[in-house]
Amino acid sequence: MKKIATLLLAAGLVFGTTTGASAIDFKVKGEWIMSFDYGQNGRITGGNGGTGWNNRGSAGASDEFEAVQRVRVRLDAVASESLSGTVHLEMGDTTWGSNRVGVNSSEGGALGSDGHPVELKNAYIDWTPPNTDLKIRMGIQGIKLPSFTTGSQVFNHDAAGITASYTFNDNVALTGFWARAYNDNFGENNILGHHVNANYLDNFDVAGLILPLTFDGLKVSPWVMGGIVGPNSGGDHFAGTSGAAAGDIRAGMVPVGGAYRKDGTPSDKYLQNYGSAFWAGVTGDATVWDPFRIAFDVNYGAITWGEDGRLNRSGWLASLLFEYKLDWAIPGIYGWYSTGDDSDPSNGSERMPTFSTIHTNNGFSSFAFNGQPWIPEGGRDNVIGRTMIGTWGVGAHLKDMSFIDDLKHTFRVNYIGGTNSPTFARRYLAGNNPDNGRSAILNNISGPNAYGLGMDPLYLTTMDSALEIGLANEYQVYENFKIYFEGSYLATFIDKNVWKNSKMNGKSDQVRDPWNINLTFIYSF
* Angle, alpha carbons 386-180-306 (nearest 5°): 80
pLDDT at 281: 98
The pLDDT of residue 435 is 47
Pinpoint the alpha helices (H) of 273-417: none
Instruction: Report how far residue 486's alpha carbon sits from residue 366's, in angstroms, rounded to the nearest whole number.
Output: 9
Which residues, listed in sequence order, are joined to residue 33 by a DSSP beta bridge?
70, 522
Left (φ > 0), alpha (ψ -120 to 50) or beta: where does 92 sit?
left
Task: Domain count for the chain, please give it.
Answer: 1
> Could you tell me the residue range of the domain that residue 191 belongs to?
129-171+184-524
CB 468 within 8 A of CB 416: yes
Residue 238, judged by CB atoms within 10 A of its CB (0-12, 13-18, 19+), counts as buried
Residue 518 pairs with which residues in a beta bridge? Answer: 37, 486
Question: Looking at this protein, which amino acid is placed at residue 180?
Answer: R
Per-residue DSSP letter, 260:
B
Distance of CA 191 to the CA centre of its chain: 29
Query: 156, 145 in Cβ contact below 8 A?
Result: yes
User: Are the CB atoms for 206 and 154 separated by under 8 Å?
Assistant: no
What is the structure's pLDDT at 198?
Answer: 81
Residue 72 resides in a domain: no
Query: Residue 508 belongs to a domain with what CATH number?
Result: 2.40.160
* Whole-number pLDDT of residue 497: 84
First to last CA, the chain: 50
Instruction: Name residues whose C-beta falls within 8 Å of residue 369's C-beta, 6 or more positions apart in sequence.
Output: 150, 362, 381, 382, 384, 385, 386, 387, 388
Q: What is the pLDDT of residue 62?
A: 64
Q: Which of 142, 265, 105, 241 is nearest to 186 (CA)?
A: 241
Q: What is residue 114's predicted lDDT score, i.e. its pLDDT?
A: 72
Q: Maximum Cα–Cα distance for the chain, whole Å? A: 99
> What pLDDT is stored for residue 197 in this prediction?
80
Q: How far is Cα 379 from Cα 366, in angstroms, rounded to an integer?
A: 10
41 lies in some domain: no
CA–CA gap between residue 356 and residue 151 (Å, rounded): 12
Cβ 209 vs Cβ 176: under 8 Å:
yes
Is residue 450, in this structure, part of any structural domain at all? yes
pLDDT of residue 6: 44
Concatenate the DSSP letters of all residues of 117-178 into one string: -EEEEEEEEEE--TTS--EEEEEEEEEE---SSS--SSBEEEEEEEEEEEE-SSSBEEEEEE
Asked whether residue 355 is domain-assigned, the answer is: yes
Examine residue 291 and state whether it is found in any structural domain, yes or no: yes
3-class state of residue 490 by DSSP: strand
Whether the full predicted model's pTM is greater than 0.75, yes or no, is: yes
pLDDT of residue 432: 52
Residue 145 counted as domain residue: yes
The reply to whether 305 falls in a domain is: yes
Report the relative pairing of strands 313-324 and 330-338 from DSSP bridges. Answer: antiparallel
Amino acid letter, 61: A
Residue at 84 is within a domain: no
Q: What is the mean pLDDT of each run of 10 residues along the chain (525 residues)?
A: 44 44 84 92 44 39 82 96 96 82 64 77 97 96 97 95 97 97 80 75 92 97 94 56 46 76 70 88 97 98 81 95 96 98 90 90 92 68 88 97 96 97 82 45 38 68 95 96 96 85 47 86 96
Three-state DSSP class for residue 479:
coil
Integer Cα distance of 341 and 424 in angstroms: 8
Q: Is the Cα dihedral 91, 94, 98, 100 positive or negative?
A: negative
CA distance 459 to 351: 12
